[in-house]
Amino acid sequence: MVLALCEWRDLTSTEIGRYLEKSPQYVRERYVSKFLEKGLLDLTEHPSSKNVRYKISKDGREWLERSLSHLSQPPYKENDDAGEKK
């Protein structure tokens, strides 16, 4: 969810927290720090800046697309007997 939000637009931890109903500190510790370490998010400012926002990185966008790609595929092929009701 955090990556999808940051793909929509660059967000602060406070803004992300509002969407998730979590504190900014929780967002930074639980999500942002891990996504930064993995290279899935980038910073728009110096980390200690009060104006720092988080944006999805190229790797984050690719990861998100791979993760969501299964949602656009039907669970079975139209010719597949497993998907037919009997």
pLDDT in tens, 19-74: 999 999 999 999 999 999 999 999 999 888 888 999 999 999 999 888 877 766 66
User: Tokens 């790609």 label which residue?
Assistant: 69
pLDDT in tens, 56-68: 999 999 998 888 7
pLDDT attached to residue 48: 84
Best CATH choice for the domain 2-70 from the list 3.40.50.150, 1.10.10.10, 1.10.1240.10, 2.30.30.30: 1.10.10.10
